[in-house]
Structure 1
Amino acid sequence: MSLISSEAGPVLTVRYFAGARAAAGGVSEESAEAATVDELTQLLTNRHGERLALVMKAASFLVNGLACHDRTAELPAGATVDVLPPFAGG
């Protein structure tokens, strides 16, 4: 069985932290299919609404534990994408 969907992109695990989790309605982890972080952001906004969209605009993303600064880069199949909102205090 392939992890790549010909239409939507690779199957990913998305994990939400702190304010991103709250904005996603308390969901801490879910699956999604997207080829890039930009596409993932749109998909998750459609799924959870504008509150999450606002968080994701300012969020940092880790792909398999590594910072992803290019939101148009291709995501690998089976990747784990962590959504990290800005943290207060720092």
Structure 2
Amino acid sequence: MKIRYFAGAAEAAGVHEETLDADFEVTVADLVEQLGADRERLATVLAACTLLVDGQAVRARTEYVPAGAQVDVLPPFAGG
């Protein structure tokens, strides 16, 4: 599973991209918990982020993420 972080999420994660070895589906909630487990700042940012799974916005954290998915982590954007 490829995780791509953008803007403030990348800053909080300390990387722009990482790969997780998973050969099974996980819920979005479980994935978010795993990603933020040892990174408190990232965990805080993830709580406010929108996630895209294979280009589709996640509507509920109970949705499943396929093992080979690409997950984009998009923090809230300011602007007008």
- TM-score normalized by the length of structure 2: 0.88
Task: List, as ranges, runs of 4+ consecutive aligned residues in structure 1 with deviation greater than 2 Å.
Answer: none
Bigger relative CO (Cα 8 Å, ≥ 6 apart)? 2
**Stretches of structure 2 lacking an aligned partner (at least 5 in a row):** none
Percent identity, aligned pairs only, is: 55
Q: What is the aligned residue count?
A: 77
27, 42, 46: which one aligns with 1:36: 27
Secondary structure of residue in 2 paired with 1:58: coil
Q: CA RMSD in A?
A: 1.3
What SS class does the counterpart of residue 52 from structure 1 fall into?
Answer: helix
CA displacement 1:14-69 (0-9 Å, x = unmatched): 000000000001x011112360111111111124x111011100000000001011
- Structure 1: gaps spanning 5 or more residues: 1-11
Larger radius of gyration: 1
TM-score, normalised via structure 1 length? 0.79
